[in-house]
Structure formats: C-alpha cells, structure tokens
Structure 1
C-alpha cells in the first residue's frame, strides 16, 4: 500500500513538474533561424499543420510540442490562414494569439495626389505579392467590375496609402480607394459654400482635379479655386494648361506648344467653355475642399512666380504685366 502511495505521489510530482515546465515553455521566446521569419498557414490548416508550417518557416522547436500547445490553448478558437511574421522575443502564446487574430503581414501601395489613373495602375502593377487581375482590362471594364459601369475611372480613386495582404487582388485595392474617394467627395460636397456655379459633386470633383494640378504651393489652393469659380460664374473659359495636356494623352512630350492650345479636344479649356467632361487627375482632400470652399476673391488670372507660388490678378492688364515679370524675365 505504501509503495502504491509513493508511486502515485511520484506520478503526481512528475505531472506537476511537466505541467510547470509546459507553462514555463509557453512564456519563453521561440528560437528562430533569423531575426524575423515568415510563415504561411494554408486555408483550412489544422493546429498540427500550422505548427509544421511554423517550423518550416524558421521557428526552431518541436512541431509536435508546438502543435500540442496550439490544440490545447486554442481549442475554442480558430487559426486564420495567411502569412505571418515571427520576430525575436515572441512566445508560443504570442504566435497563437497573432494567428487567432489574423494579424497577417500587410504590404502597402501609395497613390499620390495629382496622379492620373494610368499612373496609379502603373504603381499597382509594380506592387509586390498582389494579384494583377486588372492588368489586361480597359478602364471601362475595371469600373464595371467595381460596380460603376459607364463612370469614367479618372479621378474616382482617393490618393492615400493602401494596405493589403499577400495575394490580394488589385481590384480589392482599387475598391478601397474608390470607396474612400466617394466618402471624401460626399463630405466635401455636403460642406460646400452657397452659390457655387457647380451642379453636382461630380463637377466639384472635376474642378478639384484641376486645382490639384494647378497648385504649386498649398497656401494658394483656395485662391486658384476662387479664380476658376469666378470664371465659371461669368462664362469665361478656364484656359488651364493641365486640361490641355491631359487631352493630348501620350502625344504630349513635355513641351506644351501654341498649336496644342489651339487643337480642340473635349479637355481643351482654351477652345471649350465650362468644365471638361471628366477629372484630369486624382485630387486630395485639400483640393476637394478648395473646390467647394474657394477663397473670396475678385481675381480672374494667375501666373506662376517660379518658386511654387502664384501671382493673382483681377485684370488682364495686371496679369500681362505679371506674366512679363515672372515668365519672360521683364521688369
């Protein structure tokens, strides 16, 4: 009887020791083959498979031990598939928590204010680990895939940095950007000043894209918008070079000539009155707000000073003198 009691006591002591060691192990940093390793957990992976993938990815431990812990500690939770980063100092508990949360490796692509849709697509094409489902699609087909058939793609995507997971579709990034532009545009339109010569939020977007391309210094943005609003009010042509350049497309070689200003296209605001038919770039939040909250000014003209800022004039005579001073080197 005493022998049995001693045996049971020994077994209990061993169990407690094993349990204590197991608890201790879950709180210790996992040894790695590098400072940072990446593991990929496939869809539908079991806890054992997740443990095996961790070891294959560079976590130096026994897969059976890690799998046992995942199964025991995560029995009421689901490990989400995806790519995960494991860094020095992470414990088995940290790794399990990360995979249960779905805290996967995120990549990023940046859309810059003033870029055209073509430039954004070029950035997407270079983005790493992104499925390029739209690569062979025309802009009209992309907009149809995004649920906006018949809407021009230009200007419909908000410039920002977008995060995505490995093997995400470029359509997902485009959808994020489009939805954010819709939100920002609606917010700007709702905050518009009274009496604007703009019939819709779409017209505000077109004007904002012109303001974006015409502004060299942030402090001038609302004044640039004020000039264009003044021109729209009196029926004066906008006569803005960026719209002409946009209408030229790939034919523009970087040198805007007088013949270009005279060549009629739907975007030539020298030959056509009013706003062009579509935006010419993707405006940021500041340009959206400037278009609907322009400066109260009497200026009808502006010219670049050469330092990023603009000189604004109320009369053609004053404007011509400013052009002579800042563009032709006159006094």
Structure 2
C-alpha cells in the first residue's frame, strides 16, 4: 500500500513540475531569427498551421509547443485573421493574446486631393503589402467589383490616408474610399445653399473637382466656386483649363496650346456649355464645401497673379486689365 502512495506522490510531483515548467515557458521571451517576425493569418486557418507558420516566419520554438499552447488555452478558435508582427521580448502568452485581440500590424496608403483615378490606381499598385486584386482589371470591372457597375470612377473616391492589414486586397481600400466619398457628397449636398445652380449631388461633385484643380490658395476655394456658379447662372461657358487638360488625357505634354482650347472634346468647357460629363479629379472636403456653399461674390473671372493666388473680376474690362498686369506685364 505504501508503494502505491509513493507512486501517486511521484506522479503528482512530476505533474506539478511539468505544470511549473509550462508556466515558466509561457512567460519567457520567444527566441526570434530576426529583430521582428511577421505573419499573415488567413480566415479559417487552423491552429496547427498558424503555429507552423510562426516557426517558418522565424519564431525559434517547437511548432508542437505553440500548437498545444493555443489549444490548451481554450482560445485557439478565437484567433483572428490578420497581419501580425512581434519583436524581442514577446512571450508565448503575449503572442496568443495579440492574435486573439486582433492586434494587427497595419500599413497605410495616402491618396492625394486632386489626383485622378489613374494616379489613384498607380499609388495602390505600389502600396506596401497590399494585394493587387485589381491588377489587370479595367476601370469598369473595378467599379462592378466594388458594387457600382456602370459608374465612371473618376472623382468617386475620397482622398485620405487609409490603414489596412498587410495582405489585404486593394479592392477593400477602393470600397472604403468609394463609400467615404459617397458619404461626403451626401453630407455636402444636404448642406447646400438654396440658390445653388446645380441640380444634383453628382453635379456638385463635378464642380468640386474643378475647384480642386483650379485652387492655388486654399482660402480662395469659395471665391473660385463662386465664379463658376455665377457663370452657370448666366449661361456663360466655364472656360477652365483643367477640364481641357483632362480631356486630352495622356496626350497632354504639359503645355496647353491654343489649338487644345479649340479642339472639341466632351471635357472642353471652352467649346461646350455647362459642366463636363464627369468629375476630373478627386476633390477633398474643402472643395466639396466650396462647391455647395460658394462665397457671396459677383465675380465672373479670375486670373493667376503668379504667386499662387488669383485676381478676381466682376467684368470683362476688369479682367482684361488684370490679365495685362499679371500675365502680360503691362
């Protein structure tokens, strides 16, 4: 009988030692093959594969030890998909806690006000660790993929800085930017001036894109928007160079010539009245506000002073004098 008691005692002591060893290991920093180790976990990935993935990425620990820790903890099914990074000092306990919290490593991509959709796509294509799901897609296919089939993409994406999990598809960023612009346009349209000569929120977006491209000084957005709304009221052509340049597309070589102003395209606001058929760039919040709530002004003209600001005029005679002063040096 005594030998049975002694055997049981030995088993209990061994179990306690093993438990103590496990507890010690769980709180010891993991050895890493580099200063930091990254791993992207896909949705539905099995705990065994996650453990093996960390070892393959550079965690110097037995994969079976990580796997059994994940299972024994009871949190294996709570591990979230995403991109994770750990550094020196990370323990097995902290590693699992990070994955359960979804404490991901995020990258960012910045989309600039005034960019065209072509520039937008180029920036996404070179963004860090962003999966190029849209590569090879036409603009029309992209719009269909994000749920807006038949819509022209120009101006439909809000310029901002977007954070994303490494390994995310670029279509996810496009969807967020598209949704953000829809919301911004709706908010701006709801706050529009009562006498605005625009019929739809889409027209406001088009005007905002022109204001964005014409603005040299941020404080002048409202006055520039006023010039264009005044012209729309009296049926005067908008005569704005950025729309002509947009219509030329890749043929534009940086030098706008008189023949370009005379060449009729759907975007030539010298040869065609009213707004162009689509936006010409991605406007920011300030240009959207200016388009729907322009400054109170009678100006119909403006010309660059050559220092980033503009001279505004109510009449053609005043405008001609300003052109002579600032453009011709007379």
Q: Indicate the residue corresponding to 2:302 in structure 1.
A: 302
> Which stretches in structure 2 are left out of the alignment for 5+ residues?
none
> Which stretches in structure 1 are left out of the alignment for 5+ residues?
none
In 1, are the aligned partners of 2:83 and 2:167 still within 8 Å (CA)? no
Q: Indicate the residue corresponding to 1:190 in structure 2.
A: 190
Q: Indicate the residue corresponding to 1:219 in structure 2.
A: 219
SS at match of 1:140: helix
In the aligned structure 2, how far is the partner of 1:298 from the partner of 1:43?
A: 59
SS at match of 1:168: coil
Residues 201-210 or 271-280, more deviating: 271-280
In 2, are the aligned partners of 1:74 and 1:96 still within 8 Å (CA)? no
Kindly state the Cα deviation for residue 6 of structure 1 after the two structures are TM-superposed. Answer: 4.9
In the aligned structure 2, how far is the partner of 1:285 from the partner of 1:171?
A: 23
In 1, are the aligned partners of 2:27 and 2:92 still within 8 Å (CA)? yes
- The answer to whether residue 50 in structure 2 is matched with residue 59 in structure 1 is no
- The answer to whether residue 302 in structure 2 is matched with residue 313 in structure 1 is no
Which residues in structure 2 correspond to 1:1-331 (within 5 Å)?
Answer: 4-41=4-41, 44-75=44-75, 77-330=77-330
In 1, are the aligned partners of 2:40 and 2:167 still within 8 Å (CA)? no
In the aligned structure 2, how far is the partner of 1:65 from the partner of 1:146?
A: 42
CA deviations 1:86-137 (Å, max 9, x no partner) are 1122221221122223444433322211011111122222234444343333
In the aligned structure 2, how far is the partner of 1:134 from the partner of 1:63?
A: 36
TM-score after normalising by structure 1: 0.91
SS at match of 2:312: strand
CA deviations 1:212-232 (Å, max 9, x no partner) are 000011111111111111111
Kindly state the Cα deviation for residue 291 of structure 1 after the two structures are TM-superposed. Answer: 0.5
The alignment covers a number of residue pairs equal to 330
SS at match of 2:163: strand
Residues 157-166 or 270-279, more deviating: 157-166
In 1, are the aligned partners of 2:40 and 2:166 still within 8 Å (CA)? no
Kindly state the Cα deviation for residue 161 of structure 1 after the two structures are TM-superposed. Answer: 2.1
In the aligned structure 2, how far is the partner of 1:89 from the partner of 1:318?
A: 71
TM-score after normalising by structure 2: 0.91
In 2, are the aligned partners of 1:35 and 1:88 still within 8 Å (CA)? yes
CA RMSD of aligned residues (A): 2.2
SS at match of 2:55: helix
Question: Residues 133, 51 of structure 1: CA spacing in aligned structure 2 closer, same or farther, 3 A cutoff?
Answer: closer
